[in-house]
Structure 1
């Protein structure tokens, strides 16, 4: 069978919608890929001791990964609108395996940071897959399909902390990255076998024009700007909690192990359960209502979280509320921006996730600095302030949607 015939068959299958099996495969791939970004958070103390880095500086590990992620969003994700998405995904997964091995082998601080930037750069495969999902799905199933794949992303984020904690307690923090490197090679083999090949756009832009059009989307698409700013704030709050939480939990009098700290990630599985429902609600035109309620819960979540040093149960409650709220808003955001520009889904998600990356990076740096100077209560106040700002932004933009977008921004 010729290459053109194979492409025609695979393209025909793609137009039938997204099968449950392929949706599951994309979800698993996203979970494995995004976990690479978050493995370090429960390990910050161990990495700092291993490489002789000051505790106030170790948050830069998270920031370096997010810097790489932002670069990938700008310069790799838009390629999904230009080249074969299956080939793009496979290339990223294979290179990610190499970058993870480099992290595990790093002996110097600068080498570690460079490898972490590469890990973040290649982890944007999750956004290529989200856009891939939106393209393969029928309009009627798009919100639910995106929500399901996003649930995989959420589970990857949450289980990454628990998994990395268990592996680190058994074999050290470096083993976490070597194991992940092997898993990425395995998933690449499965994707190569079963992922469909899709037709390329008939009128393709040059890469330079494609990147230029991404920046134009910031100017022309109001839905993207509003939802992007909300993403920056909610993931800033998310990063404030998850980056700094390990510090009071690993310090006396709590002195919890990596495994115990990672268990708190399981408390946030409620966020993953919310993601799919939020996609269905957005499909029904309830995106604004979901956003408002979720942002109110996000702000409220910092009250129980502020009692972390005296009550682990309070922290669990705070984690559940925060993860539920963040992921519900995140899925709603993506459903809305995909509906705004179905012809530019890769660029829209790339542009949108730039806001996410900026928020995550700033939240990580701010949280560790604030904790080092003023302690956990100050970190909780910082998170609450960021969350309240997101709620205020949503309220101020509530009645300013544009008819062309079909849904409120």
Structure 2
């Protein structure tokens, strides 16, 4: 693990990480982290005491490093830059399947689920998701006014979609949502985080057991078939189930609530979505929202297996590396006037889903859900507005995935 870098005149010059976002601009990356760019595309930060991993701020260098096999995603490396205090790692260590592995094991396990997330298969689900969205909006309009959009729409929609895809009973959504909240929190106790992982693992293990006995037409059943064939262990299937259940609803739920709030703050841009008749216009708008918001806001983390020379810096073997997508997505070299929301911009080069071999396997599903939900919501509820000042809204400053705990709306 790196303990000293050349930065300024003394180690004290190294800024702390993570750094808080500005309450004045809650949609923007941290001003302190953006300030790192003046030191070049690669700079050290101080994280968890004496740990000083590298932060990569530029789009080009991030894309290069995410494709570099000399960077490891394995959580177990001593220099891995933990998103939580590593002094408590013994109490919070968890198995997150292939996201914490390197090839060839990463590729072997990823292939077993990637077929369920092809663009063709996900597009076949679009009418089903449209019906779900309409149903949740029907319920919201028939219920109390004001309403919390997070509980009425943003959280239940992706939870229901991933439940159907995996073969998880949606009636258990409160259980897995509550446990997921502890897992993605950056401030929960290590004991609570471990307990949440254990709860979800035991829950998925029971479901895998049921699928082994009585398979259905869902992803967990397909994993059970692989267990029977000797291609997958039951533990591997369970950890993949936990990963997909978590990833399938947490990130999309936060994008729905944050994107809704952002669009309500920019009525000219909201009109682009509400008035669009061409699905390609909606797809372009969603890519810009993904770029602008970048809900994975504590970075993609790696450890250097060998010395790496990049941008005039030497990342030593054993050094931690944090690749900040929200800074890459505001890189003016790739996105002119990057702090301006422009739903007509071609933002497809964004790093919201990462890149390289570890890019998000579920990105076609997330894109499709967002393409359905935003136009449907704003066309069906044209008078939608937030009841609280933005400065008083409960943003998830304390979570690995950025978003809103609540979004009170009326119509």
Query: What is the TM-score normalised by the length of structure 1?
Result: 0.25
Higher helix share: 1
TM-score (structure 2 length as normaliser):
0.25
Q: Which has the higher strand share?
A: 2
